[in-house]
Amino acid sequence: MKVIDISNLTKVYNESEVKVKAVNNVSLSFEEGEFAAIVGPSGSGKTTLLNLIGGLDKATEGKIIVDGTNINDLKSSELIDFRLKNIGFVFQSYNLIPVLTAKENVEFIMELQGRSSKERDDRTTELLSAVGLGERVNARPSKLSGGQQQRVAVARALASKPKFVLADEPTANLDSKSTETLLDIMEELNKKEKITFIFSTHDQRVVKKARRVITVEDGSVVSDEKRNSEN
């Protein structure tokens, strides 16, 4: 089942009176439960493409249909609500709230959604245990390593049971051991919960794990390789 259907997507930036096509006429679709990586050199447009899919940036042309909704047609307030209910985000810089504990960071999105205290507590306990931080629920980000902070960020992204998770260079600041641990956790959660993961990355460790690799150059898709699940 398709969860994302992109057609003729273009994003143009005006830089010093020069128009730059960061994304150029891209058409793609993603199925439920995919574990996909968007790769390409710096400036290729992979992060812009990810931001467009997540509604963090607005396309100049084209359509992005997410679960039957064209997010390009949504007003700003509608888009915020749509992201809250449907999309999980994992960023390179973790983006945790420093004054909140690991548990409170994970619960935050569910509070915005109006979930009950019991539902928040049960889901947070389940996810922090799943990412190996069941004993660190009361630790603030400053007391966690980079790898642990990113695992909290993954738990937060999954807390609302989104249809898909967008991860922008999630391993860029992590050492090899932390990267392997994080990728194993995300792959396991992807298979268990059938949540679609889409990465923007240049990290070959992520590429090796991905079951689909989309290569972008100069804003255009130049290859789209699907692999079997053993890869």
Q: What is the pLDDT of residue 229?
A: 58
The 3-state secondary structure of the chain reads: CEEEEEEEEEEEEEECCEEEEEEEEEEEEEECCCEEEEECCCCCCHHHHHHHHCCCCCCCEEEEEECCEEHHHCCHHHHHHHHHHHEEEECCCCCCCCCCCHHHHHHHHHHHCCCCHHHHHHHHHHHHHHCCCCCCCCCCHHHCCHHHHHHHHHHHHHHCCCCEEEEECCCCCCCHHHHHHHHHHHHHHHHHHCCEEEEEECCHHHHHHCCEEEEEECCEEEEEEECCCCC
Q: Is pLDDT larger for residue 214 or for residue 194?
A: 214
Q: Kindly tell me if the per-residue pLDDT of 231 is higher than 60.
A: no
Q: Kindly tell me if the per-residue pLDDT of 38 is higher than 50.
A: yes
The predicted-structure confidence for 168-212, as pLDDT tens digits, reads as follows 999 888 888 888 888 998 898 888 888 899 999 989 999 999 999
The predicted-structure confidence for 76-134, as pLDDT tens digits, reads as follows 999 999 998 889 999 888 889 999 999 999 999 899 888 999 999 999 999 999 888 99
Average pLDDT rounded to a whole number, residues 134-147: 93
Query: Taking the model in full, what pTM does it have?
Result: 0.89
Domains of the chain (ranges, CATH numbers): 2-226 (3.40.50.300)
Q: What is the pLDDT of residue 91?
A: 87
